[in-house]
Chain A
């Protein structure tokens, strides 16, 4: 038996070829097969995620907040008059004194400047999502790349990024953000970038690097080198996809810390932001209502509770994702 040495076919010259895989429409079929695989792994992951009560609870809370965020523009467009209900410039002419307690027209009352608290709360929810998710994406993009690169190259590259990470961990991040906000006008987007960069080059990079180290020594990395693939291919095709589950986990935790950092800075009045949960509490504080016990609860409680719930929801989602990602529990990792 003799195979032709030409690059055309590996098959014995005499025998008939194997059945071709669906000649014609092959590209579509390839795409179809891939989509099916992605959907299947997503379904499996979702099943494990929802099996834990924690995951379900977190998801419910996050969806609830998402609905709140989406409802604000809808309400402003339909039933709310912009003169009265605008979260920043509105004024409740109907109330006799400000801050007014909850009423039918203002379910969560008004703040000391006569603005509707519910409107502020709903308006802020959207910004919190944007802030948290932007910061998380930036963190994960940086941390995954830095982790994979420093694990793969080791040596000086590794030493540089790890010492940088140590430096960032050693700096108290809130104080650093306070300094930065004094130097620059920090808008929501820049704040997200700064938090993302700090997280990405900081602790998250160390965690992902240690994971990348354990992936780097597995035989399939040598197998990838055997194909002749370059360093770029090995890092981004073989190491990074195996890091992504852990990255996703840390994404959730970053969302939590970003929302929290924003609340602290807004409370201190250091951000160039129109409205946020932190600013709502800040307004209550500057008017002297924060220390008056529970009498003006609607100024503090809605914003405070929202911060607490959304932060915990993302944290819990991270915990539940841990179940999906954890190699000891994962069904994918054989």
Chain B
């Protein structure tokens, strides 16, 4: 299950996505007649890279901007600033990377081709399917839009992928409506819909958070197994470190629109550098009734990221904050050790 080190190093070194200085601001209460009173800095200068077939975890509290990063990556939102560029494998299946594609320039037919490579699995398995369309319609829609095969080929194709995601016998699911399926089954349909085009990157926005615990592991191992088989890279968005540990090669920790730490999964979990990451880890429940929990290292709550002061976003809650932290701008994400990035003056 865990990535094979050598293997991973080779394929993951071929970059798939390069995100540079991504910024997304949302105006607060503005309309045609009124100027916005401020901007929510949902994503504020985020940079990272995802290799081919790699899965990167994006971890953080609610409202830290992780979903916005996901939506920017799949072009459901347009960034305020910054760039995203993709390097897809050639259509011929050649391993050599093609010319990098700047996501901002994609429109019309080129955007449609892009959709073939980058897909999204939604958090909500209930709302993400049109209630008036059958499972067949839902999964075949990407094929129809991308003009792949005729209606009959698509039936076979949909039946194949339903079998692949474990909804068997496929023929008994084809012409059901979403409301006739359980949450776990619907999420399998959502996975099937995202993978039916054989994309290079799938952004998974907390795909298990709305499922009950019993179907969670099934969905996660399915996604893992499909990723290995289809060579899909994931951006796995979650607030659950245990899920991230299971699914991801590397983890990026976000706080108020910034990435504060980024490292290989086990490294990050064993030796967290950033004080926020440490606080997150100390909050993970331990299945031991005798376990004595240290008092939380940080207090307070996440402030609303409306026009935040320029200093370190974590300053107000940081146990290690110094006068440097107060007077300097937000620390850059620096490589503190090989492959270990953190944004903190005190590390």
Contact = CB atoms under 8 A, between A and B. Distances in A.
Interface of A: 1-3, 5-7, 9-12, 17-22, 26-27, 30, 33-34, 36-37, 218-220, 222-229, 233, 238, 241-242, 331-334
B128 interface: yes
Contacts of A218: 127
A220 B151 contact: no
Given A27-B151, A233-B145, A333 B160 contact: no
B234 to A, nearest CB: 15
Contacts of B112: 228
B128 A223 contact: yes
Given A30-B155, A241-B133, 16 more contacts: A10-B160, A17-B160, A18-B170, A19-B169, A19-B171, A21-B159, A21-B174, A219-B124, A220-B130, A222-B120, A223-B128, A226-B194, A227-B146, A229-B141, A332-B131, A332-B179
B303 interface: no
B152 interface: yes
A225 B115 CA distance: 9
B230 A10 contact: yes
21 contacts: A3-B230, A10-B164, A10-B195, A10-B230, A18-B168, A21-B155, A21-B170, A30-B155, A219-B122, A220-B127, A220-B129, A223-B193, A225-B76, A226-B142, A227-B115, A227-B142, A228-B142, A229-B145, A242-B131, A332-B179, A333-B131
User: Which one of A11, A223, A331, A333 has the greatest number of beta carbons of chain B within 10 Å?
Assistant: A223
A238 B179 contact: no
B175 interface: yes
Interface of B: 74, 76, 93, 111-116, 119-120, 122, 124, 126-134, 141-142, 145-146, 148, 151-152, 155-157, 159-161, 163-164, 168-171, 174-175, 177-179, 193-196, 198, 228-231
B113 to A, nearest CB: 8
Nearest to A8: B157
Contact of B160 (A9, A225, A229, A241): A9
User: Which one of A18, A36, A225, A238 has the greatest number of beta carbons of chain B within 10 Å?
Assistant: A18
Nearest to B159: A21
A41 to B, nearest CB: 9
Contact of B130 (A5, A226, A238): A238
Contacts of B161: 10
A74 B155 CA distance: 50
A30 B152 contact: yes
A3 B76 CA distance: 29
User: Which 10 A-B residue pairs are closest in the complex by CB-CB distance?
Assistant: A334-B179, A228-B115, A228-B112, A18-B163, A219-B128, A227-B142, A219-B127, A33-B175, A227-B145, A220-B130
A333 B116 CA distance: 30
Given A219-B127, A333-B131, A21 B156 contact: yes
Given A222-B76, A333-B179, A20 B122 contact: no
User: Which one of B132, B152, B169 has the greatest number of beta carbons of chain A within 10 Å?
Assistant: B132
B82 to A, nearest CB: 21
A71 to B, nearest CB: 39
Nearest to B158: A21
A334 B122 contact: no
Contacts of B122: 219, 222-223
A242 B93 CA distance: 40
A242 B174 CA distance: 21
A224 B144 CA distance: 12
B148 to A, nearest CB: 7
A84 B196 CA distance: 72
A131 B174 CA distance: 42
B260 to A, nearest CB: 28
B98 to A, nearest CB: 15
B229 A3 contact: yes
A24 B241 CA distance: 49
A89 B104 CA distance: 73
A4 to B, nearest CB: 9
User: Which one of B112, B145, B178 has the greatest number of beta carbons of chain A within 10 Å?
Assistant: B145
Given A242-B131, A334-B131, A226 B179 contact: no
A210 B55 CA distance: 40
Contacts of A224: 130, 141
Nearest to B119: A226
Contacts of B170: 18-19, 21
B115 A1 contact: no
A36 B156 CA distance: 20
A228 B146 contact: yes
Contacts of B111: 228
Given A229-B145, A233-B145, A334-B126, A11 B74 contact: no
A10 B198 contact: yes
B27 to A, nearest CB: 15
Nearest to A221: B130
A210 to B, nearest CB: 18
A183 B228 CA distance: 74
Given A1-B229, A219-B122, A227-B115, A11 B160 contact: yes
User: Which one of A9, A34, A218, A242 has the greatest number of beta carbons of chain B within 10 Å?
Assistant: A218
A12 to B, nearest CB: 7
